[in-house]
Amino acid sequence: MINELVEEQLQICIQKTRRNADALDASFPRFPHVAHHRGWDTSGDEEWKQLVNGYWTGGFWIGMLWLCHHLTGDDYFKDNARRWLQKLSPRAGARLIHDVGFLFYPSAALPFALTREKDLQITAKRAAYTMLRLFDKGRGCIPIQDTEEHKDVLAIDTMMNLPLLWWAGASADMAEAHDIARRHTEATARCLVRADGSTAHIARLDPQGKVVRLESWQGEAPETCWSRGHAWALAGAAHGLFFTGDAFYDKLLRTLWHFFEKNSPEDGVPHWDYSDSGGERDASAAAIIAHSLLLLSTSSQEREWAEPGLRLLQNLAEHYAHGVEHPGLLKKVCFHKPAGIDVDCSCMFADFYYMLALCLCVPDFRKQIRKLK
């Protein structure tokens, strides 16, 4: 059953990505971000007018193009991936911001594992150096950026930017990257992970790394648990375990998983905040977690994570996947509930992690992806 479902969904992914690439040619190089029935909203459209150079989501679009190239061998996807990456690549070293992980792990590091094309490794390494330069030794973490306003901000989101550093330490001869990723994760566990396994979104830290106050920019309140943020943390811990085998990441993963499993609805797709049991769902949270568990299950010592990953993926495919007519892959994604922005949409990051989860069910892909480390 799952094999047929995966094959069917991957064919839809390929079909839609080809169709979206054709449609986005008219607005190139304005990167796609969210989708409704009318098509993709890009940087420069409506509420995204202020966004340039791919926002923090541009790498996911490029990643989908690379995945389609791997699945089909069609150079149409490769040529488009390279064309978009050329526009994104200046950001690899232009600004000290944690989002370089979101931007260049999907668009350069992961496709390097699939293609072994050297320039992709070079681009990903430049981005990894940018993250390393952002590390604050006093606070013991990577702030979201180096501006005066944000240099004290420890965000749960950064956990899913760390795979770029784990990759750099494992595959790009950057030995210091694993140490920085570990120290950041320790700060996250200390400051943002609660005793019950739930997570806070933001901690403001003093120069010695002590919490001054907690905040929530996208969750309900500082004391609640924003579900996508929790997914970022859980998936980050899974990647740490995948790349290093360190028991520290295993313990953190199990703590975060226990909270997710205990507090999510039966189908595993949480509400946008765990405090709002009647509110909007966020399918992106389930997709983020599903792909990370399936990635982890490619290691022979971690096969136990395949079953929960497949269970989440199957629920997404059967109940949250759009039909062929919609430009997006997943529905019921809640982008920013407190701001009232796209609380029920398709979004590029959700689609990428969903497609990657599907690919991680394909034996050849599972074998190839081990080249990440």
> What is 206-236 written as a DSSP string?
-TTS-EEEEE-SSSS-TTS-BHHHHHHHHHH
CA-based nearest residue to 348, from 86, 93, 48: 48
Distance CA 312, CA 151 (A): 36
Q: Where are the chain's structural domains?
A: 2-372
Mean confidence (pLDDT) of the chain: 95
Does pLDDT of 331 surpass 80?
Answer: yes
Listing DSSP states for 315-350 in one string gives: HHHHHTB--TTSS-SB--B-SBTTTTB-SSBEEHHH
What type of residue is 141?
C
**pLDDT for 85:** 98
Does pLDDT of 302 surpass 70?
Answer: yes
Does pLDDT of 1 surpass 70?
Answer: no
Q: Which CATH number fits domain 2-372: 1.20.210.10, 2.40.50.100, 1.20.1250.20, 1.50.10.10?
A: 1.50.10.10
Crossing angle of the two packed helices 75-88 and 58-72, in degrees rounded to 10: 160
Identify the three-state secondary structure at position 39.
Answer: strand
Query: What's the gap between Cα 299 and its chain centre?
Result: 20
**pLDDT for 45:** 60
Distance CA 360, CA 293 (A): 10
CA-based nearest residue to 110, from 67, 139, 74, 76: 67
Q: List pLDDT tens digits, range 228-287.
A: 999 999 999 999 999 999 999 999 999 999 999 999 999 999 999 999 999 999 999 999
**Regarding predicted confidence, which is higher, 94 or 364?**
364
- Strands 32-36, 211-215: pairing is unpaired
**pLDDT for 52:** 65
Average pLDDT over residues 171-178: 92
Give bridge partners of residue 273 from the DSSP assignment.
226
Does pLDDT of 348 surpass 60?
Answer: yes
Contact 114, 368 (CB under 8 A): yes
Q: What percent of the chain has pLDDT over 70?
A: 97
**pLDDT for 81:** 98
Q: List pLDDT tens digits, range 17-29.
A: 999 999 999 989 9
Q: List pLDDT tens digits, range 109-125.
A: 999 999 999 999 999 99
**pLDDT for 36:** 86
Does pLDDT of 96 surpass 90?
Answer: no
Distance CA 150, CA 201 (A): 14
